[in-house]
Amino acid sequence: MKKKPNVIFLGVDSLRRDHMSLYGYHRLTTPHLSKFFEDGIVFEQCLAPSIPTPPGYSSMITGMDLFNTNVVALRHQGGLPEGTQTLASILSDEGYNTTSVGMDAHWGNAGFQKFLHFSGWGSWDEGRSHKAEALNEVALPELERLAGEDKPFLLFLRHMDPHAPYLPPAPYERMFYQGDEYDKNNKSLEPIYNFKPFCDFFYTWFPPFCTDSEYIIAQYDGAVAYMDACIQAIFQKMEQLGIADDTIVAITSDHGETLYDHECYFDHHGLYDPTLRIPFAIKYRGGLQGGLRIGELCSHADILPTLLDVLGIKKDICFDGRNMMNFVRHEPFESRTEYYLTEATWMHKHGWRTPEWKLIVALEPDFHYKPEVELYNLVLDPQENFNVADRRPDIVEKLKAKMHTHIAKREKETGRTNPSYTNVNWCGRDKPFETSDEAYNHLHIGDPEAARRLQAKAEAAGKE
């Protein structure tokens, strides 16, 4: 009997779709991924409806939405609800070896047989971060081991390069920037240095005295390009091991990245589209017609049902997501154009997205002092720069009604109150913020003392 196909799942953290040349970005950030997926299936409109990391990964590995995973917050406590099946547990039942590199089990309860770790962080003081190379040092030997077994395998790889700190090694740090990042006439980073909740974190990895936001964006793009080059080593290893034809490769992300957009500086909070736009592509050279680009909207919950179809595995599970292969094959398919959105990262919000409109409603005052209600026309204002909530109260009420109807429906179907309502300790405290001032003064990342030491060290070096 022929061995079942293997799966290599690239679950990249913080990879923004519109900064990948695979999706038409003007900078050549992903040449190897672009080449690899030329004969794959690329989904051009995949969304991460629940921000940030824990709900994103929970949904992609279960095929469920937040009402079933009960995961909505960055600081999620506990695992998935008892009895929840994941990609790893399903494939384990099918006789697969399963290994995760870089994703812990603490919130995912992901069902992997083996967890491996690598150094995926960094700071300016520590030097340039070789995150993807560190992942390869762990992943490539594990790939060899798995390929040598008589069982098929699932290898899940959580690359961290697009996640801050963006510190790609040479030559990637200058690949997309030829300016002067220390130009004193450039004031674009001043609002970031003045943003109390995040400034100490930024001081630990921005170059001392850096002034240009475009330099930081170029570091993000360089980190993506560096990761892309390192992923190519995985593809080459597949060829060397003779498993390329027998291995399904999928790539996606838990969420995008805000960079300089919407004052959500170089992070992944906010329900704006830069945070929601994620890649999803799949390739199976030995059994899947490729060379396709699919424009139908999809989301995290659709990934697992789609993968199981490609694997030829049928499970009696009522997924919240859809099998996108039905759309690819022109078979009966439920089109979804509207999505419930949630966030519990550094702000606590939810909303409703249609092809034309985006509604964002604050569940608590936020530390950016943004309006309680935001409404954007995604057709006329795709960058979401003009909040028209006050001018279009009719649309606000219409979308609110749709959102609350959806919430009530899912609460009834799952027997669970909307987790966005019940997870009151989303930011590490047991009561909601009452004012934006309270949120601004409470939320904080970074070590102030470490930031002061780095600044003093840089100033002393500048005087020598």
Q: Is residue 89 part of a domain?
A: yes
Is the domain of 179 the same as that of 35? yes
184 inside domain:
yes
Per residue in 24-33, pLDDT (tens digit) is 999 999 999 9
Q: Residue 125 falls within a domain, yes or no? A: yes
Are 168 and 110 contained in the same domain?
yes
Same domain, 223 and 324: yes
Task: Verify that 33 and 105 share a domain, yes or no.
Answer: yes
Under the banding of pLDDT at 50, 70 and 90, the label for residue 9 is very high
Query: Based on the domain organization, do 183 and 93 belong to the same domain?
Result: yes
Type of residue at 45? Q
Whether residue 17 is contained in a domain is answered as: yes
CATH of the domain at 272: 3.40.720.10
Range of the domain at 351: 339-442
As a three-state string, the secondary structure of 244-305 is HHHEEEEEEECCCCCCCHHHCCCCCCCCCHHHHEEEEEEECCCCCCCCEEECCCEEHHHHHH
Residues near 288 by beta carbon (within 8 Å), at least 6 away in sequence: 40, 41, 248, 282, 310
Assign residue 372 the CATH number of its domain. Answer: 3.30.1120.10
Classify residue 464: in a domain, yes or no.
no
Residues 303 and 356 in one domain: no
pLDDT in tens, 44-95: 999 999 999 999 999 999 999 999 999 999 888 778 888 899 999 999 999 9
Q: Same domain for 148 and 186?
A: yes
Q: Are residues 364 and 308 in the same domain?
A: no
Indicate if 308 and 346 belong to the same structural domain: no
Domain shared by 324 and 183, yes or no:
yes
Tell me the C-alpha distance between 179 and 259, whole Å: 18
In a domain, 300, yes or no: yes
In a domain, 265, yes or no: yes
In a domain, residue 285? The reply is yes
3-state secondary structure of 190: helix
CB 272 within 8 A of CB 260: no
pLDDT of 448 strictly over 70: no
- Give the pLDDT confidence score for residue 126 in this predicted structure: 83
Look at the chain and report how many structural domains it folds into.
Answer: 2
C-alpha closest to that of 86 among 78, 98, 75, 74: 98
